[in-house]
Chain A
Amino acid sequence: MPDRALEGVKVLDLTHHISGPYCTKLLADFGAEVLKIERPGGDPTRRMAPFLNDEVDPEKSLVFAYLNTNKQSVTLNLKSAKGIQVLKSLVEQSDVLVENFAPRVMASLGLDFEALQQINPSLVMTSISNFGQTGPYRDYKAADIVEYAMGGLMYISGAYDREPLKHAFNQAQFKAGTDAASATLMAMYHQRLTGEGQQVDVSIQEAVATGLRDVVNNFTYTGAVRRRQPNHSGDLSRIRASADGHLTPNPGIGAGLNWDVLVEFMELPELADDKFNTPSARLANAEELGQIFDDYFINQNKYERFYAAHEKRFIFGVIQSPEEVMADPQFEARNYFVDIDHPVLGTLKYPGAPFEMSGTPWDARNPAPTLGQHNVKIFGQRLGHTPEQLVQFRATQII
């Protein structure tokens, strides 16, 4: 069996919903040992649609199944003193604790960093929250749409004369989860070198606000406040409708683009004009150029133009539906979608490696755990509680 990159990194996962579970999924899928602590009713993501065949069942949430591959699950009631005691004994044996409760929660459970550090001085504690662990909005509530708005991405997204629009589903949470995984490993790198633990504070708002272009710096460099762009903004990479869907016929970047070749490729002699043949000219005559592009592409087939453009090294893109994504020959050649067998869901195709590593490949060796699947293994075998004690735990709703 090939080596796994994060072999030996022990993660105690107190996360729920999306940002935290994506962080620990990244760690688990590259070899960390992730122990997921679920409240007795389970991670709320278990109740999140879509479900297999629309059957609402804690073991049939497809998003849960995706987000929790390669993890082990135990249930633990953190509102009981015994539950806290059990958790602390797990902290002793861990390198990392990841949580994404509201900022007050861990302290209210007596599980703030100072307390945990006394148990385990080399612990890395990563906290993901809507607005971070400090600051005036610390306790504000949020959903993905609120993070989009407060992170600065929403104001510039959507139609010029309509309300701002967010990306589909939960992009802000995924960004923060990825950032949290990176920051956790930075702290782990330091821990492996020095033995020293530390606290990592990840803000979802800041995860969005870190990934912007021409927004804050438009103001600091020119005093301008950017708005959602009108249809013909001079941005040639905008979506154009084709006869069979949509594509982004971006001919190239900046001054590197050979305009004459493009004119020949599109067979549109009216583009061979001083109005369009430099980046500056295209910006000045954006509306006219945009209209020419629209009128042309509406009669084209998107994949035909996509492949033909790449022969000329134009960086056209296609807008693919989920069905087209799953049939994409590039993904197929790279075996991106992988079959994972789950005891309740059966075998399904899942999105696979976000990137490939030659020496320590991504590996979905285990499906998402069923609720409390590893209670006996962890509480019994690892912590040494007897079968009688486990019955007692169950009877008193500690697990």
Chain B
Amino acid sequence: MPGPLEGVRIIEMGQLIAIPFAMKMLADMGAQVIRLESTGRLESYRADSVYQNDVSGEFWNKGANFYEQNRNKLGVTLDLSKPEGLQILKDLVSVADVFSENFTPRVIKNFGLEYEDLKKIKPDIIMVSSTGYGFYGPWANFGATGPATEGAAGLAYQTGYLGGEPVMAEIPYTDYTSGEHTVFAVMTALMHRLRTGEGQFVDISQTQATSSTIPEILMDFSANGRTGPRMGNQDSVMSPQGCYPCRGDDRWLTMAVATDEEWQAVCRVLGQDGWASDSRFEDSLSRWQNRDELDALIGPVTSSWDAHELMHALQKEGVAAGAVLDSKDLLFDPHLVERDFYEVVSHQDSTGIPPLPYASRPWKLSKTPAVKGKAAPLMGEHNSLILSELLGKTTGDVAALEEAGIIGYGPSDPRPVRRPSLDEQVRQGRMQRYETDFEEQVRRAFPG
């Protein structure tokens, strides 16, 4: 079944997550996404987190995060510092619907690839730029990664343990927040183009997209001049809400109690008649006022439970509860597996990577679900295909381009990131543990 975006062609000059993630989502839904790469400036996700930590050979075709972010795309290498390379990019734009990129505006201006330039090549082009702080304004040319915009947006300031310092996610969180908004922005622009035939420029500020998801914080300051405390895992109205220890090493359960009935159910499941009749906890206001005491009582009781068993027991009684899933739990979560959330993707033979499951999408469309997942491209994998089929180059032209270094099939300066051994990573605390039979476990659960 084709995806709903069949026939939409996107040229992507992306890096890392913000744009690659968004374009992957569109590629999944049927758009043809042609991802451009440089051989001179190696995408760092190609050089890091490689399969089995083995950085020998063509390590640039083995990076986990590259495969994660670039499913279903076609890959073309281009040296944009040479006029011929830049011309090929423009030729691609002339047959595209969307051009997307996440470099700083300075880079785009230097290449002469602003919307006004591209519009001359393709009048109805939709151009999408995703930057840390937006394409214009005094911070426009400030480079940014996820942590920078999570801080600038106001989200990190408000996140943290009770009475503690600000904390941020340990992934480039706002790349995803802005990436999700980018998918929406492209769809909005495509809907408009479908109706009017007009393209336009979409300027995505990763900070703005993130600030748009924290009205609880920004509206309170705007209207009341108030900045609330960092609340840890507690809620501003309901209690108990928190993350409580369970049996085992680093195992946890989350729970959020909204009503008196739910509270009585918690007392029942945990066998605490005393709590059920304790006047300090009799209604939601008193529970909230005494929430620190309540949290201190709950932890020692949950710690003898298995997190999943307690989750099921509480849910059976109508209480919102969830085990804190680690990466292995998440991969093998029976609910996600039942919903086919993971999609098994086969890798090119030359990589030596077996078929592996990857997270798919948070939506299921009943009539136009998605295209079948194909692995991210090897470096330069589709050079010939795209140059000949889309731009009419001959075999001789392609060979000449390779000879001139305009296109290529590997990094000009191949330097992988060498991660410490897994034993060392566990010792340093970066990893909780590792399991040597992981390949067998994955194969059994996801036969493909």
Contact = CB atoms under 8 A, between A and B. Distances in A.
Nearest to A314: B143
B362 interface: yes
Interface string B165-197: 111111111001101111111011111101110
Contacts of B252: 149, 154-155, 163-164
A88 interface: no
Interface stretch (A35-43, A75-83, A203-211, A374-382): A203-211
Interface string B337-377: 01101100000000000001111111111111000000000
B362 A239 contact: no
Interface string B24-52: 01000100000000000110100111111
B84 interface: no
Contacts of B231: 168
From B50, B172, B182, B250, residue with most partner A Cβ within 10 Å? B250
A207 B21 CA distance: 13
Interface in B306-334: 315, 318-331, 333-334
A131 B152 CA distance: 31
B241 interface: yes
A265 interface: no
B41, B204, B328 — most chain A CB neighbours (10 Å): B328
Contacts of A164: 243, 252, 324
B217 interface: yes
Contact of B203 (A151, A165, A355): A355
Interface stretch (B130-138, B279-287, B381-389): B130-138
B431 A224 contact: yes
A146 B166 contact: no
Interface in A168-224: 168-171, 174-176, 178-183, 185-190, 192-193, 196, 198-207, 209-224
A334 B136 CA distance: 8
Given A62-B223, A146-B255, A198-B367, 19 more contacts: A146-B254, A149-B254, A163-B243, A169-B217, A178-B183, A189-B191, A200-B365, A203-B362, A211-B21, A218-B431, A222-B49, A226-B326, A230-B428, A248-B148, A252-B143, A310-B143, A318-B148, A323-B227, A334-B208
A120 interface: no
A212 B359 contact: yes
15 contacts: A7-B195, A50-B220, A134-B339, A182-B184, A196-B367, A206-B362, A209-B359, A211-B21, A221-B50, A221-B52, A224-B434, A228-B170, A333-B136, A333-B138, A358-B202
A176 B438 CA distance: 31
A284 B420 contact: yes
B278 interface: no
B247 interface: no
Contacts, number: 574
Nearest to A221: B64
Interface in A208-254: 209-230, 233-235, 237-239, 241, 246-248, 250, 252-254
A50 B228 CA distance: 10
Interface string B139-183: 111111111111111111111110001111111110011011111
Contact of A156 (B49, B171, B201): B171
A101 interface: no
A331 B47 contact: no
A293 interface: no
A9 B256 CA distance: 37
B109 interface: no
